[in-house]
Structure 1
Amino acid sequence: MDIKAGDFVKGKPEASIQYGMTDENMTKGVVTGVNGEQIKIKIIEHAKGRTGAFWVEAKYFEVIGHQKEFNRVEVLELLQNGCKKAILDYNLSGANLSGANLSEADLSRADLSEADLSGANLSGANLSEADLSRADLSGANLSEADLSGANLSGANLSEADLSRADLSGANLRRANLSGANLSEADLSGANLSGANLSEADLSRADLSGANLSRADLSGANLSEADLSGANLSGANLSEADLSRADLSGANLRRADLSGANLRRADLSGANLRRADLSEANLSEANLSGADLDFSCLPLRCGGLRWKIDKRLGAQLAYHLCSMQCNDAEYLKMRNSILVFANQFHRVGECGRLSEIAIPEEKKAAEE
């Protein structure tokens, strides 16, 4: 077999009989692995826009070229001459492109894994579905870049500018985004589990449906961000600014929200079970339909004027009525709201509360 790793291939007509993706409509793919008569092809160009990497039989494919070994001087010269697509003929995995001007370059589906792009200018670049796993993008300018569907797992994006970038559906698992500017970025449906986003600017960013489980968002700016339906279970949001953020339907189970600013945030329908909200500012927050079982709530000025529903109101009333206090005024108030308090959704588990005789009335009855 003449095909080897790094070869560019295209599908023969008979490939269409065997395969639905790597068929004759695949005009360019790169071989990333070889195992006997089997080769792994990553699709680069396809007439029907198909993407992906697949193990296939080598006999159905024709070699049309071979990847060139990376040469920084040649690549930068091509870029300066406007030959942006030509750099994909090079093996860019592990390439040193630090400080390079790649503004508006077309690097879609490129393999830039473990590449050094620190300080590079990638503003407006097309990096959709590119492999940037473990790449160094620290301090890079990625403003308004298209990174939709890109693999950025384990990448270093600390202090990078990703403002207004499209990161929808991107894989940012365990990426380092500390101090990064992600204001107004589209991160909808992105995987940010275990990522470091401490002190990052995510103001007005779209994180709807994103996976942020166990992510570090301590001190991050998430004001007016859309986190509806996001998974933030076990996330560290201590001291984060979530003012006016949309957290409706979000999963915040066991999240650390201590000292967070949630003023006027929408937490309707959110799961806040076992969440730590100590010292958080929940002033005018919407908690209607939220699950706050076993959570830690603040008793401070920032915990006033919540918007709640009947379910949470009954829960809070039950907790108030379950306190042991012999003061006559407290007991009058307690007895007056007891019917409502006993509508607590866990009353079957915790037990119904009964009226307690007020000392003055009890004494009068005995006389």
Structure 2
Amino acid sequence: MHVPDGFINAPVSVATGAVAAVAVAVSLRGARRELAGAGAGGVAGAERTAPLAGLVAAFIFAVQMLNFPVAAGTSGHLLGGALAAILVGPFTGVLCVSVVLLMQGVLFADGGLTALGVNITDMAIVTTVVAYALFRGLVKVLPRRRRSITVASFVAALVSVPAAAVAFTGLYALGGTADVPIGKVFTAMVGVHVLIGIGEATITALTVGAVIAVRPDLVYGARGLTKPLELRTSPLAAPADEPVAAAASESAAPAPAAPRRSARRVWLAGVAAALVCAGGVSYYASASPDGLEKVAHDHGIDAKAEDHAAKDSPLADYSVKDITNPRLAGGLAGVIGVGATLAVGTGVFVVLRRRRNTGADEQPVTGAERPSENV
């Protein structure tokens, strides 16, 4: 659903650029809290979450290269807003997808540069907000089980894609450059993107379910799902909610903090999966136009489309220039894209984490926080 240059007029493009800038600024502040509060241990949890957030951006970039067929002559690909929001939080999720869109537009000539605000508003903000709001609502009413997180992820991702299609239709109604009946655009966009949403939902649910199966503590949307470990001093000790047992164990030594678990294996597995998808599996992706491209061609939305400013980029169209072997050219471009997105995304989130830590260090210590002199 990458909107090219020329689809939306200048005033609406500028307006959406301003909306995107404000949303990114707000997300930068919100992401600091999400990164600092990740997992048990507060700031310590942030040390592992910043690289994981960068990994989420790289993984979304890689999976977006895997266009899947949804109808005759039409394909779709992951948008990623729901996946990012559930894995690392809604504010961090907006930044993840925004980084992906920026890298795609600058390096691969995918999505217009003047339409970057439109794409961030539609693919990063709308999908993330809609998906996470629906996800949280479902989690509150479903049983507190891991399966519920997966089910909620599926539904949220499914709805987020046609929601983005509706948002694009609204933007086109305000600033479309071609005289096209909006009713036909709405019907075509929503119809095909409901089908694409099924693919989005499947990818999101499988990914979230896989991470929850091995490390539920790393999934932002699953916080509070697992109970903390209880340390009992003897087989006769009762749960802590029984006054007698609690009083009897007062003299016992305090329970040691739970050991920190490294996220290195998850990170390595995620990087490997992203490289395989972008560097190998992408060669077998559907060559059919995606939902927006198909609708634009069929209904004349692309009548005033403009060439991309980076069309002569060495990586334009996800292929390394001057390499004649298409498998090698596409695979190498995908690997470069994963590496670049991982580096930029991780760098952004590490800087955010450090700024949050510095701000926390500068906070005055209150009486409630000051260590007791009797300890």
Q: Give TM class, smaller chain.
A: under 0.3
The answer to which structure has the higher helix fraction is 2
The structure whose residues are more often strand, as a share, is 1
Higher relative contact order (CA 8 A, sep 6+): 2
Normalized against structure 1, the TM-score is what? 0.18
